[in-house]
Structure 1
């Protein structure tokens, strides 16, 4: 049987499914606090927990924390320490003033020998397994991943009022539109929280009305 060439688009009248907006997986300030207050029983788990917290306060990805050396740490004229490193993914420079929490974690590891990285992190698969365990032990609802630490840095710094241009520089984004994605996540969360608050108030008013009847 001869095959005829199809001269029309059989899917022309089929509606395209709209691709959902990409959701940046991040954790809340409360969930981060839980992880900070939950020391791990095993050495590798504890190293992973500290690295995760370090990323949540610096915005560095796993691959950049793994290749972080003492030479990437500098000090300003007024004594403020910072990280200056080109991101592995984009080769764009990140300049990150160190938060006291990040400084405290840094002091626990190699900050003098530039022949080896600061954090002796395991391979990606082992670290991802440890992150999952940490999430369970700390009671984090979402399936915790290392990406959540970097994404949380973006949303938490924006929520704290840090200018988006500064966050873009710290995170080493090639385009500020990437950073604006975190602003959308923050705005969506605010809207969600307001919806919950309004629903709670409506429920309270309804319950109060029933009580007065």
Structure 2
């Protein structure tokens, strides 16, 4: 990075300007980054010498104005030199803070992140969830340890965060913290949000993420094929807790509900649809969008099985839901009993609904997207897999239409 800078004074045209004096601004440039600061003075355009960046004339008023501008020029030069003597890099952000006298009150990264997390904490249940806050708290911990390791400091001023800081932090997450691509991308997304917040408040004016690109690719989403789903459905389970977990898992395989959504499912969410059949109408926990799902026979059979089950009936739930941790633990037992080698988690049920139950049976992706409650069909495409049997079926239809035989 160059330690040089350039400064010029110019007249800035105000909004809705017609005639008269224009305010004088100084434009400072360092390595292509520019900031504009008002001098607090103005000048009539007819008296301004744009080549000299000064006012024209020999009157006392003109001399006073030009003397003031020269004083500002010297002040900027002195502040620039002061930054260099302190061993700091004279960025446009830091120089602007020095000129405006805001350097002493400069915001720091972790203080802004802590304030963000406190506000999120106060809004839990009103647009934010505990798991989201937990992720941001982990981000604070990672950033705190990264700053301590790389800068031997407890915090870092926002204006000091540059592209090097960003890529260094990502490398730290992948190496020191052994984060997967997806986890690292999540923590980088949290940091980007804090940077965008700082830009919006004008605590900084340049975006250190400007040239940053992540190479993280979406993780392949696992799902059950038809044979695996059939094995789970038909498996005779002697242990009651495994029966309950299996039934709830299968119910979600045929409805596409997530753990959070099936946990809050009550009678109020069951309606008679336009086809005189039962539908699930529920606002998704994650996006607060409405999911409208016709209840398939297998799912309806499970609802009827637990219709009068005392533990779930007492708290208004339609199904006897356990904690997500316990459900996933028991699903691993069920997978072993059914001879399934995939790592079975509750969210696989949602993937299975999108692939094996719907898309592979010809349900249009637009319909699947509506049932899953996605805001954007591109989200559905991450779930949707064109299975081999669907491709085979489509090609058979093509052969019929073309009138040819392989």
Scaled to the shorter chain, the TM-score interval is: 0.7 to 0.9
- Aligned residue for 1:58, secondary structure, equals coil
Q: Secondary structure at the match of 1:107?
A: helix
Cα 1:76–1:35 change in 2 (3 A) is: same
* Other structure's SS at 1:83 match: strand
Does 1:80 find its partner at 2:277?
yes
Instruction: Please show how residues 43-54 of structure 1 align to structure 2 within 5 Å.
Output: 43-54=240-251
Structure 2 CA distance for partners of 1:101 and 1:9, relative to 1, 3 Å: closer
CA positional deviation for 1:50? 0.4
Residue 316 of structure 2: aligned partner: 116
1:144 aligned partner: 344
Q: TM-score, normalised by structure 1?
A: 0.77
Which TM-score applies when normalising by structure 2? 0.42
Alpha carbons of structure 1 residues 165 and 142: separation in structure 2 relative to 1, 3 Å: same
How far did residue 115 of structure 1 move? 5.4
| Cα 1:64/1:9, change in 2 over 3 Å | closer
Report if the CA contact (8 A) 1:87-1:94 is conserved: yes
Q: Distance in 2 between matches of 1:111 and 1:6?
A: 71
Cα separation, 2, equivalents of 1:170 and 1:78: 16
Once the two structures are overlaid, the 10-residue window that deviates more, 58-67 or 108-117, is 108-117
Change (3 A) 1:146 1:4: same
Residues 91-102 of structure 1 correspond to what in structure 2 (within 5 A)? Answer: 91-102=288-299
Q: Tell me, what secondary structure is at the counterpart of 1:85? A: strand
Q: Deviations over 1:22-64 (max 9, x none)?
A: 2112111111011011132211110000000000000001111
Instruction: Give the 5 Å matches for 1:151-162.
Output: 151-156=351-356, 157-162=358-363
Count of residues in correspondence between the two structures: 187
Identify the structure with bigger relative contact order (alpha carbons < 8 Å, sequence gap 6+). 1
Q: Which residue, 187, 190, 202 being the options, matches 2:388?
A: 190
**CA 77–20 in structure 1, closer or farther in 2 if over 3 Å, else same:** closer
**Structure 1 unmatched ranges of 5 or more:** 195-213
| Alignment map for 1:1-213 (pairs within 5 Å) | 18-110=215-307, 116-156=316-356, 157-183=358-384, 185-186=385-386, 189-190=387-388
Structure with the largest fraction of strand:
2
Give ranges in structure 2 of 5+ residues lacking alignment: 1-85, 91-162, 168-212, 393-406
